[in-house]
Amino acid sequence: MLKHFSSTPQRRRGFTLMETMVATIGVSAIVGSILVTGTTVVNTMAAIVNYNDLDSRSRNTLDTMSGDLRNTAVVTSMTDRQVTVSNAITGDTISYRWDGTNYFTRTLNGSQKIMLNGCDSLTFSGFQRNPTNNFQFVPAHAPSETKLISVSWRCSRQILGAKLNTESVQTAQICIRN
């Protein structure tokens, strides 16, 4: 039997080196963009969860503090980091204090509760109730003169070792009703 030989060479199946390199580069670009997008989405979601937690804690703290301070009979002591009051309705002694580094606490009759953690700054100021002609409140010279308490704070958290999501400064002026 005679074998038939063709004058055209038989085609070999497979990829050439150039095709393999182009395919590798294309796949690497696609995988790299998927990884970058995934990392960005994870960081964004962590930041959103973090911000929502900071905002929720700040609102709860402000609600509790406003209720306590509005029903105050008298401010017994006050500094820029701490305020202690006597509640007019219950007779309880309530103190709000920032430790200067991280924690903002509420002490009710000796029982302490952490209201905020991650506080970068917090400031209390006491004023008299009557404003001046320029609608500026007059600073109180003694705690017993205080009828308006101004408080502001800023909290932040770390994501992947970096301080992110610094919450916008929470500021309130709470008028004592009594």
Helices (H), the chain: 17-70
Query: pLDDT grade, residue 5 (50/70/90)?
Result: low
CB neighbourhood size of 144 (10 A): 13
Residue 125 has what pLDDT?
Answer: 93
pLDDT at 166 over 70: no
pLDDT at 27 over 90: yes
pLDDT at 75 over 80: yes
pLDDT at 38 over 70: yes
The label of the residue with tokens 């009557």 reads 130
Give the CA count within 13 Å in the CB-facing half-sphere of 125.
Answer: 14
Higher pLDDT, 73 or 82: 82
The whole-angstrom separation of Cα 177 and Cα 12 is 93
Residue 53 has what pLDDT?
Answer: 84
Nearest C-alpha neighbor of 157 from the set 24, 9, 55: 55
Sorted by sequence, the CB contacts under 8 Å of residue 111 that are 6+ apart come out as none
What is the dihedral sign for C-alpha 39, 45, 50, 55? positive
The whole-angstrom separation of Cα 55 and Cα 12 is 66
Nearest C-alpha neighbor of 47 from the set 154, 153, 164, 156: 164
Residues 108-121: tens digit of each pLDDT: 988 999 999 888 88
pLDDT at 30 over 90: yes
Q: What torsion, rounded to 10 degrees, do the Cα atoms 18, 23, 29, 30 define?
A: 170
